[in-house]
Amino acid sequence: MKKTLCVAATMMFLGCGERVDSKLNSDLKPVHADEPGLLNPVTERVINGSIPKDGSYESVALLLSEANVSVAGGPASRRQLSICTATLISPSAILSAAHCVNELILKTAIERATGPDGKPLNAKIIGSIEFRVAFVRNLAELAANPASLLAVSRVDEHEDFALTKNPWAAFQKNPGKWHDVAIVHLAKPATGRRIQKLATAEQVNAEVSNASLGRQFAGYGLSDESNPQSAGTLMEGTAHLGEVGTNEFIAGADDAQVACHGDSGGPIYMDGTEDLQIGIASRINKKIGLGDIWDGITGNVKAPSCEVGLVYTRVDTYLDWIKKHVTDME
């Protein structure tokens, strides 16, 4: 049942874009655009977003996963699995969403990957999943300079992340308590880059009182939800806050610009600037129902539209947890 819930809940998540190197996986495609999988060389970006000006979002990073994957029992080869967004919060650590680094979610999606004919590929991850980080504006820049990929030494996923600790949280009304937060530690410090500052509870509580103010957000996600090829570039947008809870808040419902699949782990900021990050993109604002569980059992899972808005993890709620895991944080 836990894995079935994972299949259904995976549809809610925003993370997981497309892979970088088509030479390895040109014959594979995802089951759904919001799942990590064995994919073609595209990602996803902000719907109706715009390209940021030079010098902006210097702390925003591309988070990639990779592993050895066997298809139909064949020999395993190295594959790029998924893409998320993250922010540099210290010279040695980036902040992202727990589901971006959760092995159960990644492995479940890989096992459900299909080929061009829609038939299961019977793909399986062999060994461990590894993560890489890049501070690039688009995938073309990364392809031109593969040395810009930074190695990761370890990942700290929140111990109470819902799909690991309490999968039934998926049935609760949003905003909830999914604890969808993770720290990715770099093997070597990232030098010469802006460090993202995180908002405190006092700052966030003051911010949410002004619902009319648009909040900036950024990510590498879909620019056209109907076109999984609309991908690969860091984009920005503006969203308005909706309901606010103690651990999460909703933003972007009915806005023209909205974060979507591939933007998971990405930031949303306070006061219309990128000075202070108030949230981490988590999932589409849709509560899982019994029909979703049945679809997870039958394999007929469909990704919901991002137009209903997104659920963001409040960074202020997890500041103590973050500081506990990031010793060089200012």
Q: Of 143, 111, 106, 139, which Cα lies nearest the Cα of 124?
A: 111
Question: What DSSP designation does 34 have?
Answer: T
Contact call for residues 181 and 321 (beta carbons, < 8 A)? yes
Ranking 122-126, 211-215, 315-319 by mean pLDDT, the lowest is 211-215
The reported pLDDT for the residue numbered 240 is 85
Query: Does residue 47 sit within a domain?
Result: yes
pLDDT digits (tens, 9 = 90+) for 117-147: 778 889 999 999 999 999 998 888 988 999 9
Neighbours of 295 (CB within 10 A): 18
* Angstrom distance (rounded) from CA 320 to CA 200: 10
pLDDT score at 54: 85
Q: For the CA atoms of the chain, what is the radius of gyration?
A: 18
The pLDDT, as a whole number, for residue 276 is: 96
For residue 159, pLDDT beyond 90: yes
33-81: pLDDT as tens digits: 333 333 332 333 344 556 778 889 999 999 999 999 999 999 999 988 8
Q: Which of 171, 166, 174 is nearest to 291 (CA)?
A: 171
330 is a domain residue: no
Beta bridge pairs of residue 182: 96, 157
Is residue 90 assigned to a domain? yes
CA 277, 191, 86 angle in degrees (round to 5)? 35
Domain that holds residue 89: 2-325
* 166: phi then psi, degrees, rounded to nearest 5: -150, 75
Q: How many domains does the chain have?
A: 1
User: Is 312 within the bounds of a domain?
Assistant: yes
pLDDT, tens digit, 9 for 90 and up, residues 232-257? 678 888 888 888 999 999 987 765 54
Pair of tokens at residue 45: 């970006």
Between CA 216 and CA 239 the distance in angstroms is: 6
CATH code assigned at 83? 2.40.10.10
Q: Cis (ω within 30 of 0) for the bond into 267?
A: no
* Residue 122 maps to a domain: yes
